[in-house]
Amino acid sequence: MIIEVDPDGDVPIYQQLRDRVVEAIATGALKEGSPLPSTRALATDFGINFHTVNKAYDLLRRQRLLRINRKSGAVVSRDASSGPAEPEFVADWTGRATTLLAEATARGLTRDDILDICRTVLATFGEESEES
C-alpha cells in the first residue's frame, strides 16, 4: 500500500489520509483485521505532525472502519464483506452522492457517461474480495 499525501493541496492532510485508507479498504488492499502503522510511524514517514495522523485515525474510528487499541494499535474493523451498510450511512452517503452527481450533470456529463465512470471505478474495487 503506497500512499502519497500532498501538503499543499486544498484538501486537509488528515482527510487525504482518511481517503487513502478508505480506498485501500475498498480495493481490498486492507481487509478486516489488517493492522495499520502506528501514528508516529506514519507521521515520520510522511513528514507530518503525528496529531494529523491521529485525527485521520479518529475519523476512521468514528466511521466504524478502524478499531484502536492502546496495545495492538489500529486495526481495520470492517471491509466490503463485513456485512450490509447501516441505513443512516446510506442516507448520508446518498445526499453527498447527489451533490457530486449533480455537479457532473451540470458540467455536461451525461447519465451514461457518469454511470460508465462509476462502473469503471467500481471494477477496480473488490478484485480480491470475491470470496462470497
Interacting residues toward its own copies by CB under 8 A:
7-8, 12, 19, 22-23, 25-27, 62-65, 67-71, 75, 78-80, 82-86, 89-90, 93-94, 96-111, 113-115, 117-119, 121-122, 125-126
Minimal distance in Å, beta carbon 62 to DNA?
A: 11
For its own copies, the closer of residues 41 and 118 by Cβ is: 118
For 66, counting Cβ atoms within 10 Å of its Cβ (0-12 exposed, 13-18 middle, 19+ buried), the class is buried
List C-alpha distances in Å: 101 to 20, 68, 112, 124: 21, 34, 12, 20
Distance CA(78)–CA(63), nearest Å, equals: 10
CA 85 to chain centre: 15
Question: Does 21 help bind DNA (rule: CB under 7 A)?
Answer: no
Q: Which residues bind DNA (CB under 7 A)?
A: 7, 10, 12-15, 38-41, 47-49, 51-52, 54-55, 57-58, 68, 70-71, 73-74
